[in-house]
Amino acid sequence: MSGPAPGPRPVLPGGAPGPPLAGLRVGVTAGRRGPELVEALTRLGARVLWAPTVEAVPEPAAVVERQTALALAVDPVWVVVATAEGLDRWVDGAGAARADVLGLLARAKVAARGAKAVAACRRHGVVAVLTSPTERGADLVGLVAGLAEPGDPVVVVADGDASPEVVAELRAADLVVHTVAPYRWGVPAATGTAPGRRLPAGELVRALCAGEVDALVFTSPPAVDGLFAVAAALGREAAMGDALSGAGTGRVLVAAIGPATAEALEERRIGVSVCPLQPRIPALANALASAPIGFRSFGRLEPLVLDPRTRLVTGPGGAVELSDLQFALLASLARRPGMTCPTSVLLREVWGEGGATAPAARRRLEVLASRLRARLVPIEVHLATVPKRGYRLELRCGSVNNSSLTGGRERGP
């Protein structure tokens, strides 16, 4: 069985094809990156409801000054940049200590979490000697811990939640950790009006519960937490969760910019049906626009449910428990239903490997895929091999247009 093909594009009066997202009502939760995403989705024809659920709140200057003084005093061997925004805020807000901070960064070995953190380093003339292919803090910590000596002082330029897992794992590796946290995550104030095209987050919660949103897009785990915090404050967390999980009368298609954001949703039992191969705003908008129509028109409970806590997977034919690696591979594929996932992407997301040229790495993926395929047969889910390209997840159902991994409202003509 082949994967579902994209449906026909909407047709405008006169017979001309319309933009691919014409008529689709899309909720956007991003804060700082919201305008870029709103513009991209609007250009593709979507009707966008932009209601940021997260914002960066600067820490008091006195707090950052104390953290900076301590960082300069310890003169760290390593600096772990968990966030581009954190590094920019630290350097740009250092005032009279700016030159000293830049000197510290020049002397230390700098490890950057992802592409944006690497770019921030370059903006300030800093060379990052390590970066994580998966753009995840846990993987970066593993690389640093493998090279650092016990007792080495490390400064973590933290993100808005103070990067607790990064800090804890570095300390577990017998490193002496100090944090610089120039900002924290907050939920935008629930004011009656918002600047520009923004809506209060509570309006998005209301629209979700009322079935007035077809797709919801997330660009960060804090945006997920923020949305649920707003819903809880309004007493509508359960109703919104039903709308997002498919337990209600409708089903909202959920899109995540990358694996970390997808996992934050999956931890809340919210299935992700759009996830671009690269975690970038243009790729996210285009992935939503190219999602097969068959995966948007499903209004009942999804026939494939992944539980990250128990590694249990429920499909049309029953349930099966998977190993950690098998579950990670299935999750990567399930976030992109009907799409061929390249070998390089799967190696990066399952094992944290940046390249896919090594025959041993490809062989390891082949063995894992073969074992996963055998585990999925009894529950009527098929893992298809696409020769010389990668793998694709398929459901063995009578009609892919009437059943899918996740879905939303069918778009009108």
Q: What are the extents of the domains in the chain?
A: 20-54+187-294, 57-185, 304-396
Q: What share of the chain is helix, strand, coil (3-state, %, to 5)?
A: 40, 20, 40
Q: 3-state class of 403 per DSSP?
A: coil
Structure confidence at residue 12 (pLDDT): 45
CA-only gyration radius of the chain, Å: 22
Buried b / exposed e over 100-116, threshold 16 CB at 10 Å, is ebeebbeebbbbbbbeb
Q: Report how far residue 182's alpha carbon sits from residue 58's, in angstroms, rounded to the nearest whole number.
A: 6
Q: Which residues contact 182 (CB under 8 A, 6 or more apart)?
A: 58, 59, 64, 86, 89, 90, 93, 157
Q: Report how far residue 339's alpha carbon sits from residue 124's, in angstroms, rounded to the nearest whole number.
A: 39
Mind listing the pLDDT tens digit of every residue in the chain (413 residues)?
A: 233 333 444 444 444 456 888 778 899 999 988 999 999 999 998 899 999 999 999 999 999 999 999 999 999 999 999 999 999 999 999 999 999 999 999 999 999 998 889 999 999 999 999 998 877 888 899 999 999 999 999 999 999 998 999 999 999 999 999 999 999 999 887 654 444 578 999 999 999 999 889 899 999 999 999 999 999 999 999 999 988 886 555 568 899 999 889 999 998 989 898 999 888 999 999 999 887 543 433 333 456 777 777 888 888 889 999 998 999 899 889 888 778 899 988 998 888 765 555 788 889 999 999 999 999 999 988 899 999 899 998 865 433 322 233 333 222 32
Q: Hey, what amino acid is at 241? A: G
Token reading at 179: 């944090």
Structure confidence at residue 380 (pLDDT): 87
CATH 1.10.10.10 fits 304-396, yes or no: yes
Domains 57-185 and 304-396 alike in fold: no
Token reading at 66: 């104390």
Q: Which residues contact 198 (CB under 8 A, 6 or more apart)?
A: 34, 50, 51, 52
What are the residue ranges of helices labelled H in 108-149? 115-123, 137-147
Structure confidence at residue 355 (pLDDT): 52
Fold of 57-185: Rossmann fold (3.40.50)
Q: 3-state class of 337 per DSSP?
A: coil
Structure confidence at residue 5 (pLDDT): 35
- Tokens 């953290």 map to which residue? 67
Q: What CATH code would you report for 20-54+187-294?
A: 3.40.50.10090
Structural contact between residues 30 and 292, judged by C-beta atoms closer than 8 angstroms: no
Structural contact between residues 365 and 343, judged by C-beta atoms closer than 8 angstroms: yes
Cβ atoms within 10 Å, residue 98:
15
* Distance between first and last Cα of the chain: 27
Token reading at 295: 């995966």
Token reading at 335: 């976030």
Instruction: For 179-198, give the DSSP string.
Output: EE--EEEEPPP--S--STT-
Query: Does pTM surpass 0.95?
Result: no
Q: What are phi and psi of 265, to 5 degrees?
A: -75, -45
